[in-house]
Structure 1
Amino acid sequence: MANYFVINRPSNLITGVVASRYNPTETSLRRFIPATDKARDAYYKLVGRKGDVCVDVGELLSKSEYTLNWLKDSTSFSDEGKAIPQVVRYRAEEPTPETQDRQAAIFDWLDHHPEADAYDLNDEFCMGMLAAKAYVAKHS
């Protein structure tokens, strides 16, 4: 039985591997490309690294030259593949916010609110009355 990668056409993501004696019928949403043993090994290695995220065909082409053999065989007019490997970044890297020392933040707030007492400090920083009284005493 031959193995095939199941590819979602709109997203170009590999959704699975199918074993079949016959060539699977392609639809508007699914495409099937032959999967050799070495190409499947490379695919499972990528899936193991990524977890639940689907693998892009272009990424598999860049990682495994065995998948590229299928592409060369399927294009009759050129030896070079036309697929451009893409690595999808699912989350933008966020800068780490600057952290301020809690005691400095409390003392700064107390400097701006000189009439504040332990109850106000507790309401503002949600710290508890015992800690609020200690900060007010330390600031005085």
Structure 2
Amino acid sequence: MEITKKKAWGPIIGIAIGVGVMTGISNVNRTSPYKELSKFSKEINAKGAVTIDPDTRMDSTSVAEDPLMVVYHYTVVSVDKDSVTIDEKEAKEVLIKQTQENLDNSPDMETFRKHDVSMKYDYKDKKGRHLFDFTIKPAKNIQ
């Protein structure tokens, strides 16, 4: 079984950007960014796994303190890496470009830029095996 790039990765791009925007929380300025991001992550995780589209599920989020980072854990439910040929390099390149552009330019992500919050995206196949991951960091640190 072969899956086309458009079918397999188009929805993933959309969700990666959408979840990035969703995390641009404004009350990070009131308390420590780590505490606020941890609170946000717990709230998201309490809701359980979220089906994003027919191919993608966001399983959970986590937060690292040093360096300050939000990690998004996804499963591509339509991909079994043993039986589907995917171009992981191209998928990563497209996702990195789109999410980096969103992080650097979206008004919703200003707080992330201000606090230099990195974002890591971790993708697994439907059997829980690692497909790929990538991390982006704000190019512009607003002070």
Larger radius of gyration: 1
What is the TM-score when the length of structure 2 is the normalising length? 0.22
User: Which structure's relative contact order is higher, taking Cα pairs within 8 Å and 6+ residues apart?
Assistant: 2
What is the TM-score when the length of structure 1 is the normalising length? 0.22
Is the strand fraction higher in 1 or 2? 2
